[in-house]
Every structure is written in structure tokens, then in C-alpha cells.
Chains A and B, each alone.
Chain A
Amino acid sequence: MNDAAAALAEQGGDPGLVPRPFEVVGTRRELDDVVTLELAPLDGQALTFLPGQFTMLYLPGIGEIPISISGDPARPERLVQTIRSVGAVSEACCALQPGARIGVRGPYGRGWPLEAALGRHLIVLAGGLGLAPTRPIVTWALENRSKLAGLHLLYGARTPDAVLYPTQLLGWAGAEAANVMVTVDRHSDQWSGRVGVVSDLVPELPFDPALGTAMVCGPEVMMRFSLQALEGWGMAPAQMYVSMERNMKCGIGWCGHCQLGPHLLCRDGPVLAAPQVSDLIGVWEL
């Protein structure tokens, strides 16, 4: 806890609301509009996290945004966050250079229930930028491969140019430890891989659906179709988990900005079991 947080805590405030200062120690442009930042805590205190949790990134005078952690949970001394430039704060985050300072709150939320996959086939089903919040699952799974019956990464992107972490995907695909399937919605001349929607990959999984646990992340409409595909394949909804996204502000369940039905996603989520959202996902008003 830094000095400001300690002072606030002494006054009865919540230290979780005070950003900790971090320094940008590395940047990597992943796509035209996507950048990965590698951050180091200036107070020297590693930010330990569970796969699926998020932080609030704060740039003074600009604003604060929720971003999923995409790094290795076994390396908490480096906070890795992959950000798409879609607004003022994210655009400014993507423009940061090594040496820049940034405020970080968190980690927040409930992560992926990795224990639910022990002894089972773990299916990571990601679409678009949804690979960022699921990358820590894959990292964890590869490090704990002997505890799983199988590891299957199904990833879909809009175009070949929009495939996130392509080098890492190739590495995972080359490793016998993981079954990696990548597809794009629209092909280009340079693409010799699969063309089609990611949910179409589900029936090709080579095991009994009863033996699998699925963790799904991507645009909400993609998750809706993916859950339908998993259920159609024969998987029980109780074995499916999704990471939901809403407009998180406080990160600790106070403000209500991220409410989805009975759930405050920053506190109760972002990862929820499919039965918790099956009546909510796809509801236009929510």
C-alpha cells in the first residue's frame, strides 16, 4: 500500500480507490489500434493477480479505464495490459512510451475458475481482443498442463491482419501441449488457414463434451453464439464461463455503472458462469 492509500485507509477510506504509480517499461504495437504496455510498480510491490482480473488505468487529466490483465500470473512483478485505442483514455494509453508514468488501481473482479478445469479438457474460446484476458489462462494451463486432460485454444479474428499475438499463437500451436485452432471471418490472399466463425470450431473438438470446461471471451455477440455452439455440441452450461464487459468505473461495486441484471460486474464478475448470464446475455436493454 502506498502512502496516499495508507493515509486514506487511516481515515476510513478505501485504499482500493487510490491509484498506485507505475512506470511504462515496455510497449509493443500488436495491431494498428492495439498496444501492449508492460508496467513496473514504482513502489516495488508486485501486483499479483488471478487470470481474468482487471485493473483501472489512470492518466491524470485524461481519465481512467478498465483493462484486463494479459500477462503471466507467475510474473506479477511486470503488469502487462493490452489496450485497444477506442477513446480518449485508451488512445493516450496506447501512445505512452517507456519511462512514462501511469496510475493503476486493482486488480479487481473475479477471475477464471481455473480449479474447475483440473482433470478436465480446458477449452479457451476467444474472439478478437478477447485473447488478451484469456492469455493468462493459457499461460497458467501450459505451466500446469499435467493437471489437465487437455488444453484447446479456439481463436477467431476478423481478418488475418487482426489476429492478436500471432507469434505466441504459433508457438502454442507448435507445442504438443496445446491444440490450437485459429480462424478468421474474412480471408486475405496471404492467409492459408481456416475461414469461418470461431463457434464452428467447437464440434471439431476431439473429446466427449462431458469432459470439458470452457472459458469464453470476446465481443458479447460472439460469446452468445459460442455458448450456443458449446451447448449444441453437448456441453453442460454449468461448465461454461464467460467474461462480461460493461462500463466499469469504481471497480469495487460501489457506483453501479457496470450493473448487468443482478450482477455488478466489477465485483461479481467479470467472469461469470454461463447460467448466471444466460437470461441476460443478448438482452437489448442491458
Chain B
Amino acid sequence: MEIKGLAEVLAAQPLFAGLSTETMSFLESCAKNEVFEAGVFLFKAGGQADRFFLLREGDVALELQIPGRARLTVQSVHPGHVVGASWMLPPYSWRFDARALTAVRATSIDATCLRRKCDDNPALGYEVFKRFLPILADRLQAARVQLVDLYAPPGEIGRAG
């Protein structure tokens, strides 16, 4: 397996493309590589959203526990994706569980550290939020499309044929 340094990993992320050398150095100081075995939770709903993950290898399920029912996967996340957006908005607590479906390698960014930096440097904060907004918008759109029930059998919306 190819071992990459944090700087190289972060530089390869489209999310961070075009950021200044200074900002990338700062992000590197807030980042660390993490490994999760299959079945292990990256985070659980209600926990403090103090970081987010850049998924490098493996698959992660975003899940919801509903008492009396089986665990519900609302979305799966795959290499190249960001896991976790609750760090951006108060009260900074996870809304879903994130569970490794396979062995996972991810780079995590310390969100407390990044939030503080964004507060101190609004231009950076604006840049970071601009980069996360499309991710949030895509996930909102995906959730809405899932609600549409694209493949409902025609019999459920009127008989034909």
C-alpha cells in the first residue's frame, strides 16, 4: 500500500484545491490520518462534532437508529467523499451515526481548530464554507430525490399497460 504524507493527501483533495500554501500548512496542522476496522463507528449521533473526515479508502454508512427497528442506512459514503458536516453548525453534534462498512482509511480534520481559524480569518471562513456548501446542497438534493421514490411501481401511482 502506498503511504502518503498528510500534505500530499490534503493537496490531492479537490475540496482544498487552490488554497494558499499558508492555509494548507494550517490544515495540515489540524489533520491526522485515522484507520477504522469494519463495523467500527467513526462517530455516533449526539456526539460532539469535533472533526470531519476525508475518506481515502473504504466505505462508510450514515445510519440512523430507530428504537424497535433495524439500523437504517440513509446513505453510503465512498472514497473521495467527505464524511461529516455537523461540525459547521451549532450545536456541533452529530445527527447520524457513521459506521465503517469495510476497513477505512481517512484523514480527519480537527473542526474546533478549523472553526477557530475561520472565526479569526473570515476570508478563510468564507472560502471553507463556499467549498462545503455544494456538498451540503448535493446531499440535500439526494435526500429529496430519495423521497421522490423514483422507482415506485406504476401500480402504486395508477394502473397502466
Give me the interface of A with B, judged by CB distance under 8 Å.
33, 65, 84, 86-87, 89-90, 127-129, 156-158, 162, 183, 185-187, 189, 191-197, 199-200, 204, 218-219, 221-222, 225, 247
Contact = CB atoms under 8 A, between A and B. Distances in A.
Contacts, number: 78
Contacts of A84: 153-154, 161
Interface of B: 59, 61, 70-76, 78, 80, 101, 138, 142, 145-146, 148-155, 159-161
B74 A195 contact: yes
A283 to B, nearest CB: 17
A158 B152 contact: yes
Contacts of B78: 194, 204
Contacts of B61: 187, 195
A219 B153 CA distance: 10
Contact of B146 (A87, A185, A192, A193): A185
Given A86-B155, A191-B73, A197-B146, 6 more contacts: A90-B161, A183-B76, A192-B101, A195-B73, A204-B78, A247-B160
Contact of A127 (B80, B150, B161): B150
B72 A187 contact: yes
B159 A86 contact: yes
Nearest to B138: A200
A225 B159 CA distance: 24
17 contacts: A89-B161, A129-B151, A156-B150, A158-B149, A158-B152, A185-B149, A191-B73, A195-B74, A195-B76, A196-B75, A196-B142, A196-B146, A197-B142, A197-B145, A199-B142, A200-B138, A204-B80
